[in-house]
Amino acid sequence: MSLRMLCIFGTRPEAIKMAPLVLAAQRHPKVTPIVCLTGQHREMLDQVVKYFGLRVDHDLNLMQPNQTLSELTARCLQMLTGVISETKPDCIVGQGDTTTALCASMAAFYARIPFIHVEAGLRTDSIDSPFPEEFNRRVCSLTTALHCAPTEAAQDNLLREGYSPNDVVVTGNTVLDALKLSVQQERANSSTWIQKYPDIAGRPMVLITAHRRENHGEGIRNLCSAIGQLADMFPKIQYVYPVHMNPNICGPVHEILAGRKNVHLIPPADYPEFIWLMDQATLILSDSGGVQEEAPSLRKPVLVTRDSTERPEALAAGATRLVGTDPVRIVREVCELLTNRDAYTAMQVDVNPYGDGKASERIIDLACRRFSHQNQLAMSH
């Protein structure tokens, strides 16, 4: 009898990190994946689902313009509970630390169904940063039956908090499975992207992303001011900025940076296009979690526009550096990497600490071994 695995996700990064897992589950002879999108994101989610060709069984279509955390959480929890009653899964899989992941873990707990947490054990030392993700991921851990830690440091965090070593396994991060599936393809597809970006291809380029809630307001305005100064200081460098759709981000970004010749404000790039842009970039300025994990594989330095990170492995390897959102600091750090070859090459690492691109297969095998007895038990009653 096949293991019925309900895979729940709703935002762009979750879709990227769950896609290889769903594909691995589809290939496995003893697993039946059931895909439920919460639709916490819409356009940014749909492009990923389409790129990986995922078959969707349920779509809750939850996104509202400028949604608040509490109303999104309330609707998500209620609707996921309905999907769980209807699909009767043997286990439920969620990823990371979004509102969708929080609600998936809570709904699984209330329904007494084992929850598998992918990318488990990331921590900062402050519940407020990142906000609300640090809270979300700690709650997810409380309800989890199988913690899939991407690294040993994440495993250590969970063991330190008292979770049983039997339930915590280091699997690597599935983001590198997705990267492995896409990067060669997009290199081969380069002519399409060169046609789309004739001003960017083959030229020095800084790639920028920003979306963190704790950087809304002053943080995002400071970042834009730094980019404006850098664009004036280095007019031959192109600054490519795929702007997140959150109105708290796209509003100030367009207000401060629109109309500059070497600053390209573009809509959120579809995943394959973004992979190509990262591969083209000289360096990356970002507050994204996923980008901190992907960029070391492409040997691209990342300056992280945050004060703390739950991804210390890339910092320790020297592949990323925390620069906060003070514009003076951002300008200084970017200048250094653009003008000092040794400082730049010191950030190009040979080994990515986040895994080997085989995390999905490991997680599916583990889930199969651990939870297949659930449906055997159900049959025997």
Active-site residue numbers?
97, 119, 133, 211, 213, 244
Provide the angle, in degrees to the nearest 10, between the axes of the packed helices 175-188 and 12-27: 90
Q: Which stretch binds ligand UDP (CB under 6 A): 70-78, 147-155, 194-202, 268-276?
A: 268-276
Binds ligand UDP (CB under 6 A): choice among 3, 6, 8, 16 = 16
The helix/strand/coil state of 82 is helix
Cβ closest to ligand UDP, residue 98 vs residue 141: 98
**Where do contacts with ligand UD1 occur on this chain (CB under 6 A)?**
11-13, 40-45, 63-67, 69, 72, 98-99, 132-133, 211, 245-247
Shortest Å distance, C-beta 173 to ligand UDP: 10
Instruction: Label the pairing between strands 58-59 and 31-37.
Output: parallel
Cβ closest to ligand UD1, residue 87 vs residue 248: 248
* Amino acid (one-letter) located at 137: R
For 74-85, give one letter per residue: b (16+ CB within 10 A) or e: ebbbebbbebbe
Cβ closest to ligand UDP, residue 250 vs residue 349: 250
Binds ligand UDP (CB under 6 A): choice among 10, 39, 172, 290 = 290
Could you say whether residue 242 binds ligand UDP (CB under 6 A)? yes
Shortest Å distance, C-beta 257 to ligand UD1: 19
270 Cβ neighbours under 8 A, 6+ residues apart: 47, 48, 51
Give the number of other Cβ atoms within 10 Å of residue 232's Cβ. 10
The binding track of 142-181 with respect to ligand UDP, each residue x by CB under 6 A or -, is: ---------------------------------x------
Could you say whether residue 13 binds ligand UDP (CB under 6 A)? yes
For 171-262, list the strands marked E by DSSP. Answer: 205-209, 238-242
Cβ closest to ligand UD1, residue 99 vs residue 262: 99
Bond before 296 cis per omega within 30 degrees: no
The helix/strand/coil state of 354 is coil
Shortest Å distance, C-beta 208 to ligand UD1: 14
Could you say whether residue 119 binds ligand UDP (CB under 6 A)? no
The partner in contact with residue 246, picked from ligand UDP, ligand UD1, none with C-beta cut-offs of 5 to 8 angstroms by kind, is ligand UD1
Q: Which residue, 304, 305, 335, is CA-closest to 320? A: 304
Q: Which stretch binds ligand UDP (CB under 6 A): 57-65, 184-192, 249-257, 265-273?
A: 265-273
Binders of ligand UDP: how many residues, by CB under 6 A? 16
The partner in contact with residue 376, picked from ligand UDP, ligand UD1, none with C-beta cut-offs of 5 to 8 angstroms by kind, is none
| Pair of tokens at residue 312 | 């210390």
Q: How far apart are CA 249 and CA 228, in angstroms?
A: 16
Provide the angle, in degrees to the nearest 10, between the axes of the packed helices 133-143 and 99-110: 20
Could you say whether residue 268 binds ligand UDP (CB under 6 A)? yes
Q: How far apart are CA 194 and CA 281, in angstroms?
A: 13
Could you say whether residue 100 binds ligand UDP (CB under 6 A)? no
Q: How far apart are CA 172 and CA 359, in angstroms?
A: 5
Cβ closest to ligand UDP, residue 73 vs residue 288: 288
Binds ligand UDP (CB under 6 A): choice among 99, 143, 173, 288 = 288
Residue 105 near residue 117, CB atoms below 8 Å: yes
Rg (CA), the chain: 21
Binds ligand UDP (CB under 6 A): choice among 239, 274, 276, 354 = 274
| Pair of tokens at residue 205 | 């380029």
Residue 325 near residue 223, CB atoms below 8 Å: yes
Residues lying near ligand UDP in the complex (CB under 6 A): 12-13, 16, 175, 209, 211, 242, 268-269, 271, 274, 288-291, 294
